[in-house]
Structure 1
Amino acid sequence: MNYAIITGGSRGLGAAISKELLLENIHIISISRNENEELKTLAEANGGSFETIPFDLSLTEEIPSVMKEIFEKISLKRAEKIFLINNAGVVTPIKALHLADPMEISDNIAINLIAPLLITSSFIYHTEKYAIDKRIINISSGSAQNPVYGWSSYGSSKAGINLFSQTVAIEQKQLKHPTKICAFAPGVLDTDMQAEIRSTDKSDFTELARFQAYKAEGNLLSADTVATVISNLLYSEQFPNGKIVSINDYV
């Protein structure tokens, strides 16, 4: 029996990843503010399951109890594989840091970095004693290494994702039953987040024309393409443990 915990698994890239994994007869628990009936139906047709835990990831103090609830639903003694994909993220605020709303800055770091840290910590804590295949993919971004005007919060949170993924990999080498972990930059995707970016005021985002051109010229990657790569990595013997990788490494 295989399991996957996915944040934001009901929309965008998260939904595409869920769809790919459900074809592998897997049991998925999505931490998300939205339901997805289509994924529930697909799960039933393929002998798996898709359950949504409705939760706002900015409420970081409640994450340990949410994870405890999730692991009460999982039979680790019967599991062969268990995956965690920290996918949920927000790009807001898109503007120079000194003009950004303080609460939007706080929520950005909470959802993009603190929540994945806490969820990963809990995942490892609950699975540490089990000799099963345990893998974590943290969704990063090219902006983690390349500064973009107006993305001080987003880029900083993704840079944190990269380093924490590398650090946890080092820590896991000391354990009897280690968890494999990597950070994965999915590229520029045709999702709601990109639509939000393209609707930003040019005075707040000097890269606006470039991102509008990605859409106009058909240069956005489909979420399904990236989800297939992520699904393959989760089952691959060549999992990039401790590494920061990009969709460009695989397509």
Structure 2
Amino acid sequence: MPTVTMSERKKHIIITGASKGFGRDLSVHLAESGTVLHLVARSDMSDQVHELEARGAEVHTWRQDLTLTGELNDFVAGIAATISSQDTAYLGLVNNAGMIDPVGPAGKYDYQDYKKNLEINFVAPLLLAHAFIHHFQAWSPVKRVVMISSGAAGKPYHGWSHYCSTKAGVDMFVRTICIEQEKQRYPVEIMAFNPGRIGTDMQKTIRETSEEDFPMVHDFIAAYKEGKIGDSSEIAGGLARLMMAEFFPFGEVLSKRDL
């Protein structure tokens, strides 16, 4: 049986929320020969696939509703079944999918809307990380998980009770997993990353929120008009380099200022 050299081994990276915004930008910066991108979204990604393949990457698209949390372990198992441990040098997971709605005081809007916020921002990323660890723990390749966080994890905002709480939970999850993994023979390295205010649809949604629901809306509008919104592609490029660097900030919560 022929052996596989390191240069022939592949890097497999799973990205949720990959069809637009920061997730799409990150996929572009990670696309290169030898990389297999597993893009997770509910929308069509045909144009994106062509762009990434032109950069040399192998691309697989996966349609999965992340609110169907009972399906997520089997979903990751399905991806794992397409990957061979013998020709893999790197396994990555980026939990990027997120949502800000509903914005407003707790109890004001429909229960199901709040439930969806919790599922997308907290339950799904934690369960995906759990499934990733479960399926790949015994594998020897480099394994890294990035949880997309927010400055809201450490600061309360009127109208963002669910969003702030979920991001704070994500940060604590990262710190806890670090403690659990640091003595493993083949550890899964994990970090949280706060990209800050960047030019994505989420920021547009925030700027369109009423002052009643989000009193700080004018601060976000002013930041946009004054050009204080970060460039999504530039920040995604910095994260991509960090993901592939020899040193990985295991267990840390970083922001764009740390790139």
TM-score, with structure 2 as normaliser: 0.93
Per-residue CA deviations over 1:168-214 (Å, capped at 9, x if unaligned) read 11101131100110011000010001111111111101011011112
Root-mean-square deviation over aligned CA pairs: 1.2
Question: Residues of 2 paired with 1:35 and 1:214: CA distance?
Answer: 32
Task: Encode CA deviations 1:23-50: one digit per residue, 9 max, x unaligned.
Answer: 3541111111122223211232233222
| Distance across 2 between alignment mates of 1:116 and 1:170 | 18
Larger deviation: 220-229 or 17-26? 17-26
Q: Which runs of 4+ in 1 moved over 4 A?
A: none
Amino acid at match of 1:29: H
Alignment-derived partner of residue 211 in structure 1: 220
* 8 A contact 1:25–1:46 mirrored in 2: no
Write the distance in 2 (CA, Å) between the matches of 1:62 and 1:53: 13
Please say if 1:91 is aligned against 2:91: no
Report the structure number with the largest CA radius of gyration.
2
CA 1:151–1:140: 2 relative to 1, 3 Å = same
1:56-95 deviations in Å (ceiling 9; x for gaps): 1111111111111111112222100111100000101100
Distance 2:65 2:163 in 1: 18
Q: 2:3 maps to which residue?
A: none
Residue in 2 that maps onto 1:165: 174
1:80 aligns with 2:105: no
* Alpha-carbon distance in structure 2 between the residues aligned to 1:24 and 1:203: 50
For residue 21 of structure 1, report the CA deviation from its aligned partner: 0.4
| 1:175 maps onto 2:190 in alignment | no
Matched residue, 1:241: 250
Corresponding residue number in structure 2 for 1:51? 60
Unaligned runs of 5+ in 1: none
- 1:133 is aligned to 142
Quick check: 155-164 or 20-29, which moved more?
20-29
1:25/1:39 CA distance change after superposition, 3 Å: farther
Separation in 2, partners of 1:132, 1:139: 23
Q: Report what 1:32 is aligned to.
A: 41
Equivalent-residue separation in structure 2 for 1:136 and 1:24 (angstroms): 21
C-alpha spacing 1:35/1:49, structure 2 compared with 1 (3 Å): farther
2-structure distance, mates of 1:76, 1:35: 29
TM-score (norm 1): 0.96
What residue identity is the alignment partner of 2:30? L
Q: 1:130 Cα deviation (Å)?
A: 1.2
